[in-house]
Structure 1
C-alpha cells in the first residue's frame, strides 16, 4: 500500500503501538514530517515512529536501517536516528515500521548552515567516521555508490527536463561538469559505508551549525564520492575547500571529479522536485530548490575557470 491507499493518522499509530509496543502507547504523539518514503510521528520527547507511506520500496529501506544503523551510530560524531523497536506488518497496517530516537533540529533546506567553518568541520568529521570499509554482506545501493557514468541516461533525462522550462541557466556548463565526472577513473578502494542521500532535507541544523543527520534509507557500501558531493549541496559558499582539507583520508583528484558529478545529479533532482514537480509525488518541496540552484552555480562557476 502507498499513500493513495492508506491514510496514516495519530489514531492508527497509537493503535499499532498498543498492539506491539504497549509500553510506548500512552506517550504524547504528533506528526513530525511527511517525507519522500516515510511519515515520521514524534513520540514523546526522545522517540519517533517511522512508517512507510509513499513508495513501495520503503519497506526494505526501513528493515535495512533497523539491521545496520545501531552498530554504526555509536561511532558517528553527529546524532542520528537510532532504531529502537521494530513493528511487524499486521492486518491493521500491512507494512513494517520502526521506532527510532528523535534527533532535534531543523532540516537544512529550511534553515541552511551559515557557520561555514563549523559546518565544514562537522560534515568532514561525520563522513570521516562513517566512511569505513563495510563488511561482507553490507547492502548495495539502489543506484548509489557506483561510478557516475552508470547514471548517464538518468543525467541526460534530468538535464533535458530541467532545461526545457528554463530551470538551468547554462546547461552546457552543467554537462561539462558531468562529462568530466563520468570520465574520471573509478573508485579503486574498498567499498565504504555511505549515507547515500545527503541532501539538505536529510541534514539538521541549529544556530547555523550542523546538529544531526537523518534518513539512512539509502545506507549502502561503495564509492565515497557519492557522499562527498554534499560539500557543494550543504555547505555555505567558500566552505568546500575547508571540508576537503578536513576530511580524511584526503580525497584524490579523481574522487573529487566523481563527487562533482554526484553533486550535479543531486542538484538537478532538487530543482526538478521543487520547481517542476514529479507527477505530484509527496516529499518534493519548494525549499529543495534554492540549495540545488546554489550548488549548480558553484559547480558550473568552477568549471568555467
Structure 2
C-alpha cells in the first residue's frame, strides 16, 4: 500500500477551501439577519399626554407624539413592547424663552412596565440639565431587552404595555408653570437570539383600557360571557396595540442560524479530517 503525498496535499487544499467557503457563507447569513426596526415614518399620532398612569396617552412604536404642557407637569404615555424587542424612548423638550426663566432646569425620562415597576435604563441620557440660555434638551432611555418569560421574583422586562414618564426633577420655584412643548418617540429593534428563553407568558401585562377604548377581541369575549351569565375579571380591556410580531415575538431568531451553522461546520470539519487522514488508493 502506498501513500500519495501529492494526493494528500490536494485533498487538504480542497478541504481547506470547503471550510473557507462555508465560513464565508455563514458570515454572510449572520450579517444578513439584521435588526428589524418598527415603522419609523415619523407620522404624528398623538398631540397630548396624560397626567397619571391611568390617563396615559397611547402611542405606537415608530410614531412621534407631541404635547404642550406647563413646567412641573408629569406627562405620561403608554406604548407596546413584545418579547425579543429592545425599545428605545426619546424625548425632546422645547424650553420657554430664556428671558422668562430664572435658573437651570433638570428634566428626567423614566420607563415603567405594565406592573408599574420602574425599569432602569441600560443606555441613554435619562436626565439632563438645561441652562438659562438653552432652547431645548433631549433625553433618551433604552431599558433592557424584553423577554418572553421570567421568574416571579424577577423584575425582568416582560411583554405588554410600558409607561413613559417625562417630568421635571429640579428647577427654580418661580419657573413653575412656564409653557413647554415636548415630543416623544419610541422605536424598537430585534434583540436577537441572545434573549430567547424557553417559556412564554400566558398573556401580556396590559392596563385596563379607559372608557370607549375596549379592544375588539376583548369586547367579543365580554359579550360572550355576558350571554352565558358570567364575567371573567381576568379579561383586560386594553387599547394598547399589539406589536407586529405579536406579544411573544416570532418563532425565528438568529439562534437558528448559529445552531445550523455550527452543525454544518462540525460536519465539514469531520469530513475534512477524514479526507486528510485516510490512506491513498495505491497498491
TM-score over 0.5 (shorter chain): no
User: Quick check: which one's strand share is greater?
Assistant: 2
Larger Rg: 2
Q: Which has the higher contact order (CA 8 A, sep 6+)?
A: 2
Q: TM-score, normalised by structure 1?
A: 0.23
